[in-house]
Structure 1
């Protein structure tokens, strides 16, 4: 078993705040990047994911916070305000359409 290099305080803070960038962690895409303006305009009447959340009176800026929203309430908001019938469907589509900018 390999011993992991300890994280610096700065890296730990970035990790805790969810601010790691794509180069550091390609599996952890920020919600703003995943649900960019182009995606939101294509699949809803909103210009941003933040606008979409605000319309439903949801306050979340990370995937973990989204996961804490009552699933049925969020699914209803997604179905009412987007072309998707559920949050899972919206998330799956965003992941499949996402293309990182190099």
Structure 2
């Protein structure tokens, strides 16, 4: 995160810009998906449990790695982020 982004975030001026070609995290990982595949009621709750914070898929891509994969493996039905994201995308596409 750049200094300007951090400053805007601290000042409450940062806006989440969603890529129109990708669904938001809330749409991609709705409560029904999270309850089905984990003990959490929301993706936000799942993140907070692992001390991760992301508002967009782009943010997730910046943090995804071994620690995130281990959290996913421990706390969900999935072995890693790639598998979880693929499943969420399939379910999202079916629900459209």
In the superposition, the TM-score normalised over structure 1's length comes to: 0.73
Three-state SS of the structure 1 residue aligned to 2:78 is: coil
Residue equivalent to 1:93:
87
Structure 2 unmatched ranges of 5 or more: 1-14
Q: How many residue pairs were aligned?
A: 80
Partner of 1:18: 17
Q: Which has the larger radius of gyration?
A: 1
The residue that corresponds to 1:52 in the other structure is 46
| Cα distance in 2, alignment partners of residues 39 and 91 from structure 1 | 11
Aligned CA RMSD, in angstroms, stands at 1.5
1 or 2 for the larger relative contact order (CA 8 Å, sep ≥6)?
Answer: 2
Q: Secondary structure at the match of 1:68?
A: helix
Unaligned runs of 5+ in 1: 1-15
Q: Which residue of 2 aligns with 1:41?
A: 35
